[in-house]
Amino acid sequence: MPKLSQYEIEREENIKRNSALLDALGIQKVHPKEVPKPKKAVPPKKRKAEVDENNDASAGSPPKIARTTSSDQPLSGARRSARNAGKKVDYKAEQIRVIPVPISTRNKAGNAGPLGSGASGRKIVKFGSIPDIEVGTWWQTREDCSNDSIHAPWVGGISGSKHKGAYSIALSGGYDDDVDLGYGFTFTGAGGRDLKGTKTKPKNLRTAPQSCDQTFENNGNAALKKSSETGKPVRVIRGFKNKSEFAPSEGYRYDGLYTVEKAWMEKGLNPGGFLVCKFAFKRIADQPPLPVRDLDAEAAVKNQAKDGGNDAQNDEESDEDEDEDEDEDDDEDEDADADGEAEAEIEGEEPEEQG
C-alpha cells in the first residue's frame, strides 16, 4: 500500500474527528438497507406533467406533498427480481435504479414559472418548507433551484442573515473532510478565501482556495451559528459535486429540513491549516426518505463500460461475490414503499417576510 499523502492523512483525521462528533450528537449513518430505494427512474416528461397537476391541485391545498417514489405508476422495474431470475444482471437498469431519482424534474425548458414563488411572482423568503416544492425536487442548475425559492444564492453555499439565521444551505462538495451521513452531516462554513482574481481582472473570482482563517463574523457562518441557537429549520440541497452516496449524480436536489445541532471551529483541510467554521446538521424526523446511491455498483458500471462492454458481459453475472454483504437486490425491497406518506409538515414558525 502506498503511503498516504499528508493531505490524506489530515483528511482521515478530520473525518474521524467529525464522525465522532456526529456520533456524540446521536447522528448515525442510516444504512442503505434501511432506506427505501427509489423504484426506477421515471421519464422526466411524465414527471413534469405530474408536477403540473400537483401545481394546479395545490390551488386549494396539496393533500399529499412529499412523495418520494412514484407509487402511482406500475413499473416494470418493480419486478426486477423476477426478471433477474433467468437473466443476467442488467447493469444499465441497475444504474438507473441506484441513481437518485429526480422526484420532480424541473428545469429551464419546462418551467411554466417558478412554483416556489408567491402569487406576486416574487421569491419566497422564509424558514422551513416552501409551498408546492416537495422534498426530493430536483433541478439542473443552482439558478433553477433559486427560482423556486429553495436556495436563493446562485453561488453561495449559505443563505440567511446573521440576525435571523440561515434559510438554506448547499451541500456541494468543496470540502473533502465534511462527513455526509445523509440524515446528518458536517458542513464547512464560508469565507477565508481570497477572491482576488487575476491582475487584469482583480476581485473577480467567485471561489478560491483557503488563504486565511474563517470567522463567525462572516454573514453565512453567523447565520448558521444563529440557527444553532434558535433551532429553526434549514433547507438543505445536495449537489452533484458532493461525493457521498446521498448526493445526486447530477444537478441539485432538495433534501428537506435539518437543524443545526452544533457550531465550532477547527483546523480545516487546507495547505495552510487555516481555521474553518464547522456545523453539525441533523435531519428533522418524519420526512420522506433520502434516495441512496450504490456507488460501488456505479463504479462497476463504469468499469464495464471502459472495458469495452461486449465480451465482458458474461462475468457480470458471476461477479456477485463481490460485495454481497449489502443485501442485494434480487429479493424485494418493495416493502419499503409502504411508508411513503410519512410527510413532514414542519414549518418555520412565522412566515417571516422581509424586504
| Residues 111-140, interacting with DNA (CB under 7 A) | 123, 125, 140
Closer CB to DNA, 48 or 142, in the complex: 142
197 DSSP 8-state letter: B
Q: Considering only the stretches 13-21, 89-97, 202-210, 299-307, report the one whose residues sit in contact with DNA under the rule CB under 7 A.
A: 202-210
Q: Please tell me whether residue 264 binds DNA under the rule CB under 7 A.
A: no
CB 166 within 8 A of CB 260: yes
Q: How far is the CB of 91 from DNA (least distance, A)?
A: 21
Q: Please tell me whether residue 161 binds DNA under the rule CB under 7 A.
A: yes
Q: Please tell me whether residue 207 binds DNA under the rule CB under 7 A.
A: yes
71 DSSP 8-state letter: T
Q: Please tell me whether residue 350 binds DNA under the rule CB under 7 A.
A: no
CA-closest candidate to residue 42, choices 111, 109, 103, 108: 103
Binding residue (CB under 7 A) for DNA from 175, 216, 254, 281: 175
Q: Please tell me whether residue 172 binds DNA under the rule CB under 7 A.
A: yes
CB 111 within 8 A of CB 133: no
Q: Please tell me whether residue 143 binds DNA under the rule CB under 7 A.
A: yes
Closer CB to DNA, 120 or 198, in the complex: 198
Q: How far is the CB of 339 from DNA (least distance, A)?
A: 30
Give kind and range of the element (H or E) at residue 19: helix 6-24
Q: Please tell me whether residue 227 binds DNA under the rule CB under 7 A.
A: no
Q: Please tell me whether residue 14 binds DNA under the rule CB under 7 A.
A: no
Query: With 0-12 CB in 10 A as exposed, 13-18 as middle and 19+ as buried, what is 129?
Result: buried
Q: How far is the CB of 170 from DNA (least distance, A)?
A: 5
Q: How far is the CB of 124 from DNA (least distance, A)?
A: 9
Length of the chain equals 355
Closer CB to DNA, 69 or 105, in the complex: 105
Closer CB to DNA, 77 or 153, in the complex: 153
Q: Report the SS3 class of residue 6.
A: helix
Q: Please tell me whether residue 195 binds DNA under the rule CB under 7 A.
A: yes
CA-closest candidate to residue 166, choices 222, 117, 242: 222
Binding residue (CB under 7 A) for DNA from 45, 64, 92, 241: 241
Query: With 0-12 CB in 10 A as exposed, 13-18 as middle and 19+ as buried, what is 260?
Result: buried
Q: How far is the CB of 15 from DNA (least distance, A)?
A: 14
35 DSSP 8-state letter: S
- Site size for DNA, by CB under 7 A? 49
Binding residue (CB under 7 A) for DNA from 27, 130, 171, 269: 171
Binding residue (CB under 7 A) for DNA from 101, 152, 257, 277: 152
Q: Please tell me whether residue 156 binds DNA under the rule CB under 7 A.
A: yes
117 DSSP 8-state letter: B
Q: How far is the CB of 43 from DNA (least distance, A)?
A: 22
SS (H, E, C) 231-299: CCCEEEEEECCCCCCCCCCCCEEEEEEEEEEEEEEEECCCCCCCEEEEEEEEECCCCCCCCCCCHHHHH
Q: Please tell me whether residue 204 binds DNA under the rule CB under 7 A.
A: yes
> Residue 160 to residues 35, 62, 129, 136, 203: CA-CA distances in angstroms?
31, 27, 15, 22, 23
Question: Which residues, listed in sequence order, are joined to residue 156 by a DSSP beta bridge?
Answer: none
Q: Report the SS3 class of residue 309.
A: coil
Binding residue (CB under 7 A) for DNA from 5, 120, 200, 314: 200
CB 58 within 8 A of CB 119: no
Closer CB to DNA, 174 or 309, in the complex: 174
Q: Given the rule CB under 7 A, which residues bind DNA?
A: 123, 125, 140-143, 146, 152-163, 170-175, 178, 187-188, 190-191, 193, 195, 197-198, 200-201, 203-207, 218-220, 239, 241-242, 252, 354
